[in-house]
């Protein structure tokens, strides 16, 4: 599956505009990366060590945090290194690897969120049968689907990009993406572009269908439920809805930057829009769930207290 690419490295052109303040940008990216690692690792540690949290919702949340670390690590260390490089170059092989990691991170994020919506649907619509439906076997299958489907599905499409001959080396973004790589090719990319658009639908349709189906039934239940039940359902779904909203904002920014000219916007705004999708979900998800879910909030506060012990759950 080798090709005859003319170039061996690519230049992330946008980073030249950061040169005057590159040390400030480096510190910002470093702090963001440390926050991603600490926040998500803390969440994983609490869920793993507290047996009372060994429930489907928290297991899915643990995987969401793990994916946050996966995505943050695929982006920020490479970005910081390339920023400090005088040439702002990254090898073509590393660029392709980063493309695969970042695209699969995004799809895994959406898949886990859709699985979590199904979990909330079962908890609210079938509370008495919840434990018989969300068995350990089913939870493991959903987790395997959340990671396996994106990793395999994107790999099958990415083979087409890897076969292209790359003859240009300027990328106008701060990281590598599949669309950026395709634009660097001298080959006819019409077929690859068409398949790419079709693949986006294939990659996202199962997750979107699961999310819409789950919340459609939750809303249907809420319309006929008592006021107390509605409040309970809203409280149960609020963290997940915020996480989906956060993800959707990132998707919106990504679509706008990919399809429209945003050069009229301030440079800092363009950078935030470009990185939102890859940085803010891993940062905000632990905060959203850590502050909204009482069991997690209590143990987080306890973890950083002087006694440094996890609260037993009643």
Q: What is the pLDDT of residues 214-228, one digit of tens each?
A: 989 888 888 777 777
C-alpha to C-alpha distances, 65 to 47, 148, 229, nearest whole angstrom: 11, 17, 29
Task: Give Cβ neighbours of residue 64 (< 8 Å, ≥ 6 apart).
Answer: 109, 112, 113, 116, 243, 285
pLDDT at residue 80, as a whole number? 95
CATH number of 9-303: 1.20.1070.10
Pairing state between β 89-91 and 170-171: unpaired
Query: Coil, strand or helix: which one is 90?
Result: strand
pLDDT in tens, 107-165: 999 999 999 999 999 998 888 899 999 999 999 999 999 999 999 989 988 998 888 88
**DSSP H helices in the chain:** 22-49, 56-84, 92-125, 130-133, 136-162, 178-183, 190-224, 227-259, 267-292, 294-303
Full strand arrangement of the beta sheet holding 170-171:
89-91, 9-12, 170-171
Please write down the long-range contacts of 249-255, taking CB distance under 8 Å and 24 or more positions apart.
Answer: 249/276, 249/280, 250/276, 250/277, 250/278, 250/280, 250/281, 251/277, 253/277
Tokens representing residue 133 in the block: 């439906």
End-to-end Cα distance, the chain: 56
Taking Cα atoms as reference points, which of 125, 95, 83 lies closest to residue 9?
95
CA atoms within 13 A on the CB side of 263: 4
Domain-by-domain residue ranges, the chain? 9-303
pLDDT at residue 52, as a whole number? 82
Tell me how far apart the alpha carbons of residues 194 and 189 are, in angstroms, rounded to a whole number. Answer: 8
pLDDT at residue 233, as a whole number? 77
Q: Dihedral through CA 68, CA 69, CA 74, CA 77, nearest 10? A: 130
What's the pTM value of the predicted model, to 2 decimals? Answer: 0.88
pLDDT at residue 40, as a whole number? 94
Tell me how far apart the alpha carbons of residues 171 and 234 are, in angstroms, rounded to a whole number. Answer: 44
pLDDT at residue 231, as a whole number? 78
pLDDT at residue 69, as a whole number? 96
CA atoms within 13 A on the CB side of 265: 14
Q: Evaluate whether 127 touches 232 at the Cβ level (below 8 Å).
A: no
Q: How far is CA 67 from the centre of its chain?
A: 7
Query: Coil, strand or helix: which one is 108?
Result: helix
pLDDT at residue 223, as a whole number? 78
Q: Evaluate whether 270 touches 239 at the Cβ level (below 8 Å).
A: no
- For the chain, 314 residues long, the average pLDDT of each consecutive 10-residue run is 70 91 94 94 89 89 95 94 92 94 94 94 90 93 94 90 88 89 85 79 84 89 76 81 89 80 84 89 87 70 59 47
Query: Coil, strand or helix: which one is 9?
Result: strand
Tell me how far apart the alpha carbons of residues 94 and 58 are, in angstroms, rounded to a whole number. Answer: 34
């Amino acid at each position: 599956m080798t090709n005859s690419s003319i170039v061996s490295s690519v230049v992330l052109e946008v980073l030249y505009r950061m040169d005057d303040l590159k040390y400030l940008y480096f510190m910002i990216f470093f702090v963001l990366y440390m926050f991603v690692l600490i926040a998500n690792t803390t969440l994983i540690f609490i869920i793993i060590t507290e047996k009372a949290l060994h429930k489907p919702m928290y297991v899915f949340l643990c995987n969401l945090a793990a994916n946050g670390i996966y995505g943050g690590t695929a982006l920020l260390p490479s970005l910081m290194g390339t920023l400090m490089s005088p040439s702002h170059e990254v090898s073509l092989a590393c660029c392709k690897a980063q493309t695969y990691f970042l695209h699969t991170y995004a799809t895994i994020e959406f898949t886990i969120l859709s699985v979590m919506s199904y979990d909330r649907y079962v908890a609210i619509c079938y509370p008495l049968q919840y434990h018989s439906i969300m068995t350990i076997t089913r939870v493991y299958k959903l987790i395997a689907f959340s990671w396996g489907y994106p990793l395999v599905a994107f790999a099958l499409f990415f083979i087409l990009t890897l076969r292209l001959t790359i003859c240009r080396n300027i990328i106008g973004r701060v990281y590598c993406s599949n669309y950026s790589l395709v634009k660097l090719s001298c080959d006819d990319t019409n077929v690859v572009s068409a398949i790419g658009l079709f693949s986006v639908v294939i990659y996202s349709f199962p997750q979107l269908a699961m999310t819409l189906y789950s919340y459609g039934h939750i809303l249907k239940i809420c319309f006929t439920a008592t006021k107390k039940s509605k409040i309970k359902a809203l409280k149960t779904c609020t963290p997940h809805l915020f996480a989906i909203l956060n993800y959707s904002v990132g998707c919106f920014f990504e679509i706008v930057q990919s399809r429209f000219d945003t050069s009229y916007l301030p440079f800092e705004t363009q950078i935030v829009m470009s990185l939102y999708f890859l940085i803010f979900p891993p940062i905000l998800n632990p905060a959203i769930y850590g502050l909204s879910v009482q069991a997690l909030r209590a143990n987080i506060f306890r973890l950083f207290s002087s006694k440094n012990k996890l609260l037993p759950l009643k």
